[in-house]
Amino acid sequence: MRIPIIAGNWKMYKNEAEAFELGAELKKRLEDVVSLKIVLCPPFTALFSVKKAIEGSNLFLGAQNMHWEDQGAYTGEISAKMLMSLGCSFVILGHSERRIHFGETNEMTNKKLKKAIEIGLSPILCVGEKLEQRETEKTEEVVEKQLEGAFEGLKEIEAEKVVIAYEPVWAIGTGKTATPKQANEVHRFIREKLGLLYKDEIAEKVNILYGGSVKPENSNELLSEPDIDGALVGGASLKADSFEKIVRSKLS
Ligand code: 13P
């Protein structure tokens, strides 16, 4: 049985004090929610504060990126071990904003994925097509390539630990959301692909989240689809009210 996950990607928002406040508010509001995993992914600089804010609660801490080496001369980078020592349980990898603005490739994502699993972090692997790729009917081809690249060399026991987030790039921060049917179709495709790369039993264990302009107004419908196991929320995770509503829509 897959336990649904609702994760908030705070991106480059919230200073330390603001992050603490939001974390503490969410801890208070969501303490009764035990049937799904709620993950908060603040910027690196606020991880420690949010860890303190949510201590002793049912909320999980996640980071937004990491390097694949344990340590070394990599100015500006953070390792999986460092994230573990801070109390992180999850890490977002291969987000389209990392791919587009910082040149992250499927190979880099693959190295990060392997390291995250080795260290014991649950990776949230992001995949998704750009607008022109959807318009030219290349969605499946693009997502397939991202999956094959990211999962290269991963054993079954590792693959089942990966959480996938399908985030169509054209729906991120644009207010445009994939319709529940459009999203579910790609989610089903991803699960089928995992079944081919591994076996159906493994594919059935993998959580596939949807991300891209998820908000309280559309979360109910999206999260009712059979292959949508949760959400990776950007903008609407920055306010306690909207994030709480999204979490609760998966409960109803
Ligand atoms: P928005 O919810 O702001 O569209 O962002 C989605 C996202 O990129 C989550 O990782």
Cα end-to-end span (Å), the chain:
18
Residue of 67, 95, 97, 104 marked active site:
95
Mean pLDDT of all residues in 118-134? 97
Which of 233, 238, 242, 246 to probe ligand 1 with, by most ligand atoms within 8 A of CB?
233
- The mean predicted confidence, pLDDT, of the chain is 96
pTM: 0.97
Q: What is the pLDDT of residue 140?
A: 97
Kindly report the protein residue whose alpha carbon is nearest to atom 1 of ligand 1.
234
CA distances to 78, 92, 93, 97, 114 from 67, rounded to whole Å, are 6, 12, 10, 16, 11
List the domain boundaries for the chain: 5-249
Q: What is the pLDDT of residue 124?
A: 98
* pLDDT band with cut points at 50, 70 and 90 for residue 220: very high
* Domain at 5-249, CATH from 3.40.50.300, 3.20.20.70, 3.90.550.10, 3.40.50.720: 3.20.20.70
Helix or strand or coil: residue 242? helix
Please tell me if the CB atom of residue 7 comes closer than 6 angstroms to any atom of ligand 1: no
